[in-house]
Amino acid sequence: MTESDPERRFTAIYDEHRAQVYAYAVSRAGRQFADDIVGDTFLVAWRRLDVVPPRPLPWLLGVARNVIRERYRDEARQASLAAELRAWVTEAGDDPADGVAERVAVLAALGALTEHDRELITLVAWQGLRPRQAAQVVGCSVATYFVRLHRARKRLREALDARQVEITLPLQEHTR
């Protein structure tokens, strides 16, 4: 069986980055839509393989971001995302490992942020992007990115300090 160069290249990109695109999709739209978003994103990558840069992750996340914005009805996505954020907290709470209280607090505080702030922080903390790459994903200059990240971090700190954990606690009661 012979594989053409484009197929080899695409498969390599897919194998290397699918997990990261998936994680981004979950954090933006919840697990419910993640598979579809990842599928749509890589379909764009395949169709436009000629413009995919050598280090494709920021480009891929930028495409995923557009896919989410263009195609997922906002209310459906918000509901899915809300369920996702609740699950982060409840599932962190089930984990018997050390530091559970801190993880619950951090995830609850992240859930209390705006989507935009949360995206800025998680692109760095969970996707491991460098500032230039994160700026590319959200489509702003590096300077603007730093200002926004600074503000987002400040609000995360405030959310933690204000112990906004309680924002999600009523929902934990619901899950009994």
Partner 1 sequence: MNDLIRMVASSRPARLDENEDTRPDPASIMAHPQRPVARPASRRRLVAATALAVAGAVIVGGVAARTNEPGSTPSATGTTTGTRTGTPAPATARALLLAAAEQTTQDSSNGRYWRIVIEQGERLEVGPASRPYAILRKISEERWLPTGQQAAAGAVVARMLGARPVGAADEEAWKADGSPRQWRQGDVVITMAGGPRGVKMAPAGAVGLWLAGAPVTMKQLAALPSDPAALRKWLLARLDTAAEGPADYLLFVAGQALVTELPVRPAVRAATYRMLADLPEVRLFGAVLDQHGRAGTAVGYLRNGSETRLIVDGADGQALAQESWHGDTLLSYQVFESTGYTNEAPPMR
Cα–Cα dist 102/92, whole Å: 10
Query: Distances from the Cα of 92 to the Cαs of 26, 38, 98, 102, 168, in angstroms?
Result: 16, 25, 11, 10, 12
58 vs 88, which CB is nearer to partner 1? 88
Residue ranges of E strands in the chain? none
CB of 60 to partner 1, least distance (A): 13
11 vs 144, which CB is nearer to partner 1? 11
81 vs 135, which CB is nearer to partner 1? 81
Query: Distances from the Cα of 50 to the Cαs of 6, 21, 54, 156, in angstroms?
Result: 9, 19, 10, 39
Q: Six-digit token pair at 147? A: 């200002």
CB of 54 to partner 1, least distance (A): 19
CB of 134 to partner 1, least distance (A): 12
96 vs 170, which CB is nearer to partner 1? 170
- Helix 5-29 to helix 115-125 angle (10° resolution) is 130
15 vs 96, which CB is nearer to partner 1? 15
CB of 45 to partner 1, least distance (A): 8
163 within 8 A of 105, measured Cβ to Cβ: yes
